[in-house]
Amino acid sequence: MEWKDWCRLCANTDDNSSPVFQNEDQLLPEKIFKYLSITIRNQDELPQTVCDACTRRVTAFDRYAHQCLRVQTMFKALLQEKDDDSYNKAVLLREEYLGPVIQKRDDQVHYFVFFCYTGRCYLFQHHTLC
């Protein structure tokens, strides 16, 4: 295998790589630039493929970054609340921004998080350690 066929991000030689510009996620090059400051262009003489593991990592981090932004927006909204029932309003705002708590154990809180980004909608389960 030639080095130009290696993963552009981790240099993995795995056969489970796909061309970055023919990937299912059409925004993958933009996400790579946004989070890693790596510019990938069609005319590059550098590798043009990204392995499945790196694609999943970049996509997962993009979802995480969007969730963090929603949380910051939620906290700013909570800061605006000035009444005596602020805890209950906080719970309602958390559900509005992050989805309802569907199950609580001693060690984890489970959320279903639903969001839409560039015309695609995602629903995934999020686990948070208490």
Binding residues for Zn(2+): 7, 10, 51, 54
Q: What is the DSSP letter of 41?
A: -
Q: CA nearest 100: which of 86, 88, 113?
A: 113
Q: How far is CA 47 from CA 19, 22, 33, 34, 74, in A?
A: 9, 14, 15, 19, 40
| Residue 14 contacts residue 52 (beta carbons within 8 Å) | yes
Binding-site members are: 7, 10, 51, 54
Q: CA nearest 6: which of 43, 53, 39?
A: 53
Q: Which two tokens stand for residue 44?
A: 């590059």
